[in-house]
Structure 1
């Protein structure tokens, strides 16, 4: 007997339907908490014990909202189908929508019977961590570029000559000098000795006094 469990995922909860041989036999809303996930675990295990195979679990990738459900599946090593939202929409659009449908979960389950979907391939923990770190690095890199562009634009309005003095604008000395002297009037208000001492105090490089 083919059993399909489909989820319509939203923030903090999902609407779940269970289909057997093309008919809906159960539907309900579950919260993304420990209690409801334990109940879901019992449901999946019961179906496995009864029919000798795991149900086909289907849901869309909806960013951080579906990550909780996906983590549950991976932690319990349940096979599942993770659909791209555009792919799911194209498949569901071919299905005639019934007014009795309360959720997109019904359409995901119904189209699963006729769609050639590929199950999600389990990845090693190390690979998952590397992927997360890689995305995190890209986000930080983009944020640094954005901040640098804002800094450059602001500096053009206050002290544009400062950038020409420092060829390496990623250096700690350049950023420290920028904090000390965001405007040329702050430079002119200091004596040569004070300027020298401030520069020497704000770098780890071995700059000569000259």
Structure 2
């Protein structure tokens, strides 16, 4: 005899429905989505003489608490894909509310008996949380740079010509100290070195040239606010934020690399041409334990690179990727594929992904985006093969 518990998880409460294998409702109810609620629910289940199966849909942070509690207390549970759940539940009554959703989930599990979910190892979860944090900080870093650029247009717009394209930490420190062109306009080299307070050295010719260039830019800059303007505080603030967020990004990645280096797949993926440590740890963080995917097609669907077609009669669609999977992992894979192709061109060392891409795109005149997505699919297969066979990347044209 089986017992199945369908749970509908929301922000503040859990609706549950306990069914037996004859679809009879043994108990229904509502508990709070907190530790007390979890204990009430599991107390009901522990009184059962048969093994209990729990099924629920993932609802982001609200269901993760329940999953972690069930994992710690050795309960068997199924986290059903929301798309699959909708497909199955649409065959039942159309009426929808939290109570009925819990019942429908239980019915679906009784009928189909889905495999139990195995929780990722803690290291993969920690890497995922760290990488999502890194994504947030990266966006904040970009925003800080954009805000600094806007503020500088009023106080010292030409200072951005001091460095060509890649602005260094020295640039942001200079802007933090000298946020307005009027602070150094008309001053000599020694006076500007004194204002910078040791940031640049008089003993280095390159630094002297840089300071002379800074004075030159200050003298030609047209400003929109006086030298005592509050905008100076904003410029200094955003310059400091750019520096702070860059340090934070570096620290997060450094910690992630230390953790990921303990995993066997880290070294395997780093052996791929064009794969840097940052992209490898990001890929591991988003994909988790790749060995849980029995085939590369399942990994492909998880990322959202699987192709769907919509054909009808004489109409034949060209096909498009579903994009139903993990968008962050998909973006990392796309960029890594580009790096792989660029590395092959730069080093003249062939690899299977670049070779496939060059062959397919040779006579393409209508854009290469689809071909590049095909190359990403090939690269994902290669990633799956390396990890599941515990192999290091090697390639020969022979």
TM-score (norm 1): 0.81
Equivalences for 1:18-33 in 2 at 5 Å?
A: 18-21=18-21, 22-33=23-34
Maintained 8 Å contact 2:20/2:26: yes
Partner of 1:34: 35
Q: CA deviation at 1:134?
A: 2.2
Question: Aligned partners of 1:100 and 1:68: how far apart in 2?
Answer: 22
Q: CA deviation at 1:103?
A: 3.5
Equivalences for 1:51-66 in 2 at 5 Å?
A: 51=50, 53=51, 55-66=52-63
Name the SS for the 1:56 alignment partner: strand
Structure number with the higher helix fraction is 2
Question: Aligned partners of 2:176 and 2:96: how far apart in 1?
Answer: 63
Name the SS for the 1:188 alignment partner: coil
Deviates more, 1:181-190 or 1:138-147: 181-190
Question: Aligned partners of 1:125 and 1:100: how far apart in 2?
Answer: 34
Partner of 1:90: 87
Of 163, 166, 188 in structure 2, the residue corresponding to residue 166 of structure 1 is: 163
Structure number with the higher strand fraction is 1
Query: What does the per-residue CA deviation read over 1:130-168, in whole Å, with 9 as the maximum and x for residues that have no partner?
Result: 222222222222322232233334434543321221344
Q: CA deviation at 1:77?
A: 2.3
Name the SS for the 2:118 alignment partner: coil
Q: What value does the CA root-mean-square deviation take over the aligned residues?
A: 2.6
Q: CA deviation at 1:59?
A: 0.9
Question: Aligned partners of 2:97 and 2:182: how far apart in 1?
Answer: 73
Q: Which runs of 5+ in 2 are unaligned?
A: 209-398
Closer, same or farther in 2 for the Cα pair 1:118/1:185, shift >3 Å?
farther
Closer, same or farther in 2 for the Cα pair 1:181/1:115, shift >3 Å?
farther
Maintained 8 Å contact 2:8/2:98: no
Partner of 1:46: 47
Q: Which runs of 5+ in 1 are unaligned?
A: none
Equivalences for 1:48-197 in 2 at 5 Å?
A: 50-51=49-50, 53=51, 55-97=52-94, 102-115=99-112, 117-167=114-164, 168-171=166-169, 173-188=170-185, 192-197=189-194
Q: How many residue pairs get matched?
A: 202
Name the SS for the 1:117 alignment partner: coil
Partner of 1:10: 10
Partner of 2:228: none
Partner of 1:208: 202
Question: Aligned partners of 2:89 and 2:30: how far apart in 1?
Answer: 21
Question: Aligned partners of 1:4 and 1:153: how far apart in 2?
Answer: 58
Question: Aligned partners of 2:108 and 2:15: how far apart in 1?
Answer: 17
Looking at both structures, which has the greater relative contact order when contacts are Cα pairs under 8 Å and sequence separation is at least 6? 1
Name the SS for the 1:96 alignment partner: coil
Q: CA deviation at 1:192?
A: 4.3
Maintained 8 Å contact 1:200/1:207: no
TM-score (norm 2): 0.46
